[in-house]
Structure 1
Amino acid sequence: MSVRPNILFIVADDLNAWIGPLGRHPQVQTPNIDRLAARSVVFERAYCPAPYCNASRMSVFTGLRPSTSGIYQNEPFFGQAGRAPTYFEQLRSAGYHLFGAGKVFHGYFDYRQAGAGRTDAPWIDMHAHDSLWDRFVHNTPEPMPPGRPLNRMFDFDRFDTVDPWNHHFDWGVLPDGREADMPDRLSVNAALDFLAAPPAGQPFFCAVGLYKPHLPWYAPKRFFDLYPLDSVVLPVVNEHDLDDVPPMARMWARTPDDHAAVLAAGQWREAVQGYLAAISYCDAEIGRLLDGLDASPAGRDTIIALWGDNGFHLGEKLHWRKFVLWEEATRVPLILSRPAGDAPGRVEAPVSLLDLFPTLCDLAGAPGIPGADGISLRPLMDGEATAPRPVLTTWQEGNHSLRHGSWRYTRYADATEELYDQAADPLEWTNLAASPAHAADLQALRTLLTGLV
């Protein structure tokens, strides 16, 4: 390939499968993701390598599972002797100009400092690695609304008594006057400036890391207005859902016991409204990126990749946040748009985010990383028949969940297990691991998992 396509790479933090093209919430409004999907291949069942920001992202960026790389949470990577290469380095060595903005590598806003001092939340880089990029624009402080917490679930006047889990467990309207200060707005502004004048004679890789819909769910009022509170649809929950899961899964689900706290405060509907509003805010920023790319001289020669780094629970299985191995925490958006003229489509087979960069390299005619755990999804994008492939998600060492066909099989470090048939039980309410009728299915999945880890 004499001239390689550009790549616009958009990652949204904690964006679960509640987007229009996936139909996982009946009210969500994502018109810009919808219009991207209309010209793209939508992977209906994409799964993260780990239900945690850093572990998932480092797996994507290296093509290595956590069990291969040893990155299960925040373990060091770049200081390791003989570390694996990243796909950023591969693309740069292949002649790509690398621009990035926002949360691409892992970092966080310091909500402890923001809550204790009643200030905006400063950004803390954990893995900046400016040397990987030709130019990188870092996050600015996140604006905080006055009177926090807006959900009144905690007492920030006695901030030392607030559990660190709850420093950002909040939702509500951000004053419109602060929208221009939102880090995602500024990251997109920087990317739009880049797209308006891309480097001449060189393909580019433009990465934009959007922080929303990560907690706290603060967004301008117009996004909350999309979801009138009295009509917000809540997830369907079984109050006995944890009765048949192993002790480790039960402990993860209730550490902290967010669901009980949200119910006691009467804030479930408000929280779901907040998450939906944050998704629609994220969608609006994605729309600005799409408009900027379409107006750019590179508009017709650019691959677009949109993905979320991990899923998120809002009460399903009596759990909130991520940090578990069930469907809502592991299922993510993955949408790939080839340059103008390629046909859109949908892929129903389970796939892994590990496959994202091998696919991008394949589409771009760029070298991949030998020995990576991911594979190219290009055959699926082209509609070719391929053999079903198990997809693995890992949370902390020794805990793995396999999605294969309609099955989810999970084995914990203590050898306890879960088994769900999603064709019959899409909400994962009935653990079949002890069912004699499914002993053969269980054994086949055990064998598959053993072959991967």
Structure 2
Amino acid sequence: MRNVFYIFLIAFNCFVFGQNNKQLNVVFIAVDDLKPTIRSFGDANAITPNMDMLARKSTLFLNAHTQQAICSPSRISLLTGLRPDKTQVYDLKTQMRDKLPDVITIPQHFKINGYTTAGVGKIFDPRGVDKQSDGVSWSLPYKRAHQLKYHKDWGPPMVGYYHNHQIKEKIKSIVKNKNIPPSKVGDFLKTIFRPPFSSSPAPDEAYPDGAIAAEALRMIDNLSNNGKPFFLAVGFKRPHLPFSAPQKYWNLYGRDRIPLAAFQQRGSNIGRLAFKGPGEISKYPMDDRFYTTDNNGQLNLDTEFQRELVHGYYACTSFIDFQIGKIINKLKKEGLMNNTVIIIWGDHGFHLGDHRMWTKHSNFEQATRSPLIIYNPRTRAAQKIISPTEFVDIFPTLTDMAQIVPPSNVDGTSLLPMMMGQQQSVKEFAVSQYPRNNKMGYSFRTAAYRYTLWIDKSKIGQKISGKDIVQEELFDYNTDPLETKNHIGIPSYNNVYNDLKSKALTFLSPVVKSSPKRDVVPVLYDKGIKDLISDKGYDPEQVYIGATLNHRQLNTKVSDLFLEEFTYSTPENCAKQGRIHPKPGVWDWKPLNEYLDFADKNNIVLRIHGPISPQASHWAKTDSRTKEELEKNMVEYFTALCKRMNKESSVKWMDVVNETITPEGFWFEEKPGVEQWENPWEQIGRDKNDVPLYITKAFQIANKHATNKSLVFNQHGGMEPKMWDKVKETILYLKKKGYRVDGLGWQAHLRSNKPLALDKKQLVYLANLIDWAHQHDLDFHVTEIDYQIMDSSNNLKALQEQAAAYSNILKVLLSKRKNGVVTFNTWGMIDKNTGRHHDKFRFIFDKNINPKPAYFALREAIIKPDNKLILK
């Protein structure tokens, strides 16, 4: 069974630096009918300081789309991670559990996994669930707006919306004169008097959303003290119609500066199914405001009325922003920001006059696109994602962040690889849908285009072909962001049209319930790297990917992690001369024997890193040492090592020499003292061809006593031509003398201030070097790869570059796998704050054993080895 932490492998934790492993809380904030009228999303008119402040430490998804632009279907889809064709909820009256009695919701799943779940306001649309707002989802009784405490001097608003004195008096008069029973007042007013906007001097807590925020603060007090992680859902009701908010939020905006929709007509060549009539807003009648329509049944409102409506929408958005600010400030005050995920989402967008629509209920951009903000307390990294995402992605993203396995049937894809900088995209398009009469429209939103097709509802779930399409649209947001025309039929768009149409038909057939084809294969979090290698069909005799362990890490969480991920390893230092035979009369085989036992027990393939090299003991580096003493120690040590390793079934390769040549192409020599990086063995002498004797002597010993092992000439450095030319020359020299050399190794110690792995020229040189090795019957080994962040910044940009470096080297290596053996070994697994070989955040897991972007980059390289290199 896989280690529990990695079964749950939550990319949320991949940037944990210095944080503890306490389980994360979740504050889950829904905002009704919220389009991206937020300054941090690019709306310069919006006054949203609190969401903007949070955005500076969060991931903003700028191209996020609902599955259906209407309240109940959208929310049920998001909260179950299932598309509407799976939930079968397309309207405001169908109950979720009438269709799917056993469906698991996000809060229910967190509850099952040990969280205390609580909710207030509007999370589910009340028409789609039971009176307890889906009672099985909550640990504590759910609180709806009418159950809350309101300001003691004002009480709740009339019919849920109004504190304006004139409006309240008129409603009272109508109710009295018409003798309307209390239970019928709301429906009756839809045809008589229900203003679409209002304001009053009432305080925040006199309105539902102010009361919701106040209750959320009380809930945080209770939940943060019960000893369990909590999932708190807070659902705000505005800026849904009517646009009612305290006057102070209206005062934030000047009416004359309120923007109106730039395109207020039907676009050319767009069929009638794309449009929604005046139904929604016409249910908010008001004296002296008229909902006139044109010949197409589209609203034709006068300019002043439009400004009032848009003003109201912005005022309500600011009202909600300030309520969100109260929640954020409460989390700060209680010290919870370091351990609480905050997610803010709107259930769909809203047309504010564009296409002459004042509603959602469409597949146009203004209806499907809604803001999504995710605050990750363990990264606090500000970034904006422009690739398409969907609200079904929220479920698997949150479960990843909370170390919980999502239900197996969810349609979404975790967004964490993008949040971590490991991927730029998780799918090619987001899919929205909307029913119109007996037709269903499916809209496919890519980074630049939207293709929408309409079919008869009877065809849902069946094989779809072009002849089943009754209407279709194509929009280009690069050249026509306002959707003024349908680009189908324009010759220059034929390729785009045919491509998207083909992909749409593939997506819809034969099962419309499937998730969209992704342009990046999703990371398989429940499988280790070793499993990916097997699943992708790599030849196990040609490709080896592993990691180095220090023998002190055996039988720890680090070695447990290793066993989850790899089947190939290299002992860090326990096979070297300085450890085994540091001076005459001293031998210590215990650490190496423990490593060999670990390998035998767990079927690990080993490369023994015990070369004759600068990794020598102080005794060997002492300046007074004679060449005879050095040669005797070297021969004793390396002969004993070769004899022992030759009998070990787990050992496949042995490094014979290492770091023999400087980057300038000279032999690496001795230096004064014992503290410098030097090669004392060079003092043994050179032969008549000026080749150091220790090199030929080491290969002579290995050829004689390690007859069953592949022998590797290992080298440190970058892609310096003079160095590698001399390495090649030396290998050929050894072969000419009759010595077997089976592999060429490159240590690959990378640094952020030397962008070798992000430089095309140097990567090409590496590729040619691998070719040279294979042409001369040599395996090629990347023996000790790591990447030091030299300024220790450890920020998102640095981690992304680190990930790209690891990925690029592996991709180059894998591109040569059909020509010969290639191996890839990381020089460790987890970061440490100190230590010459573990500092500078160099490895693929952080010090808390959480995966970093580099880890996911390696996975993606294995899954998609032919993806383009990321160059600087």
Q: Output the TM-score relative to the length of structure 2.
A: 0.47
Alignment of 1:9-20 (within 5 A): 9-20=28-39
Offset at 1:165?
A: 7.7
1: CA distance between counterparts of 2:101 and 2:263? 47
Kindly tell me: are residues 138 and 160 of structure 1, through their superposed partners in 2, closer, same or farther at Cα, counting changes over 3 Å?
Answer: closer
| 1:168-201 superposed Cα distances (whole Å, 9 cap, x missing partner) | 5511212325x32211111111211121241433
Which structure: larger Rg?
Answer: 2
Please state whether the residue corresponding to 1:271 is helix, strand or coil.
helix
Q: Which amino acid aligns with 1:41?
A: T
Offset at 1:214?
A: 0.9
Offset at 1:79?
A: 3.2
* 1:223 and 2:228 correspond: no
Task: Determine if contact 1:101/1:187 at 8 Å carries over to the other structure.
Answer: yes
Please state whether the residue corresponding to 1:313 is helix, strand or coil.
coil
Equivalent residue number for residue 400 of structure 2:
362
2: CA distance between counterparts of 1:331 and 1:449? 19
Moved more, 9-18 or 262-271: 262-271
- Cα RMSD (Å) of the superposition? 2.8
Moved more, 73-82 or 335-344: 73-82
1: CA distance between counterparts of 2:292 and 2:398? 39
Equivalent residue number for residue 290 of structure 1:
328
Please state whether the residue corresponding to 1:402 is helix, strand or coil.
strand
Please state whether the residue corresponding to 1:26 is helix, strand or coil.
coil
* 1:132 and 2:137 correspond: yes
Task: Determine if contact 1:169/1:215 at 8 Å carries over to the other structure.
Answer: no
Offset at 1:367?
A: 1.5
Task: Determine if contact 1:8/1:304 at 8 Å carries over to the other structure.
Answer: yes
| 1:8-63 superposed Cα distances (whole Å, 9 cap, x missing partner) | 1000000111111111x331100000001001001111111110010000001111
* 1:245 and 2:251 correspond: no
* 1:335 and 2:361 correspond: no
**Larger RCO: 1 or 2 (CA < 8 Å, sep 6+):** 1
Kindly tell me: are residues 194 and 55 of structure 1, through their superposed partners in 2, closer, same or farther at Cα, counting changes over 3 Å?
Answer: same
Task: Determine if contact 1:101/1:138 at 8 Å carries over to the other structure.
Answer: yes
Task: Determine if contact 1:238/1:429 at 8 Å carries over to the other structure.
Answer: no
Equivalent residue number for residue 413 of structure 2:
375
Alignment of 1:314-353 (within 5 A): 314-353=352-391
Offset at 1:299?
A: 2.7
In structure 2, which of residues 114, 119, 123 is the aligned counterpart of residue 100 of structure 1?
A: 119
Tell me the number of residue pairs that the alignment of Structure 1 and Structure 2 aligns. 432
Return 5+ residue gaps in structure 1 as ranges.
109-123
| 1:375-402 superposed Cα distances (whole Å, 9 cap, x missing partner) | 1000111112346421001112621111
Alignment of 1:67-78 (within 5 A): 67-74=85-92, 75-78=94-97
Please state whether the residue corresponding to 1:17 is helix, strand or coil.
coil
In structure 1, which of residues 166, 176, 201 is the aligned counterpart of residue 227 of structure 2?
A: 201
Q: Which amino acid aligns with 1:298?
A: L
Alignment of 1:9-408 (within 5 A): 9-23=28-42, 25-74=43-92, 75-80=94-99, 82-107=101-126, 128-135=133-140, 136-140=142-146, 142-144=160-162, 145-148=164-167, 164=190, 168=194, 170-176=196-202, 179-197=204-222, 198-239=224-265, 241-250=266-275, 252-255=276-279, 260=293, 263-264=301-302, 266-385=304-423, 386=425, 388-396=427-435, 398-408=440-450
Q: Which amino acid aligns with 1:289?
A: I
Kindly tell me: are residues 431 and 172 of structure 1, through their superposed partners in 2, closer, same or farther at Cα, counting changes over 3 Å?
Answer: same
| 1:125-176 superposed Cα distances (whole Å, 9 cap, x missing partner) | 76622332122222125241233399xxxx9989999894886551121232
1: CA distance between counterparts of 2:32 and 2:205? 20
Task: Determine if contact 2:300/2:356 at 8 Å carries over to the other structure.
Answer: no
| 1:95-125 superposed Cα distances (whole Å, 9 cap, x missing partner) | 11101110011137xxxxxxxxxxxxxxx97
Please state whether the residue corresponding to 2:503 is helix, strand or coil.
helix
2: CA distance between counterparts of 1:169 and 1:14? 18
2: CA distance between counterparts of 1:171 and 1:7? 33
Kindly tell me: are residues 29 and 208 of structure 1, through their superposed partners in 2, closer, same or farther at Cα, counting changes over 3 Å?
Answer: same
Equivalent residue number for residue 483 of structure 2:
428
Task: Determine if contact 1:41/1:381 at 8 Å carries over to the other structure.
Answer: yes
* 1:413 and 2:439 correspond: no
| 1:70-101 superposed Cα distances (whole Å, 9 cap, x missing partner) | 11123222234653221222111111110111
Runs of 4 or more consecutive aligned structure 1 residues displaced over 4 Å after TM superposition? 124-127, 155-163, 165-169, 253-262
Task: Determine if contact 2:343/2:374 at 8 Å carries over to the other structure.
Answer: yes
Kindly tell me: are residues 213 and 233 of structure 1, through their superposed partners in 2, closer, same or farther at Cα, counting changes over 3 Å?
Answer: same
2: CA distance between counterparts of 1:297 and 1:372? 33
Return 5+ residue gaps in structure 2 as ranges.
6-20, 147-155, 179-184, 283-290, 294-298, 457-469, 513-872
Moved more, 269-278 or 430-439: 430-439
Kindly tell me: are residues 83 and 160 of structure 1, through their superposed partners in 2, closer, same or farther at Cα, counting changes over 3 Å?
Answer: closer
2: CA distance between counterparts of 1:77 and 1:242? 36
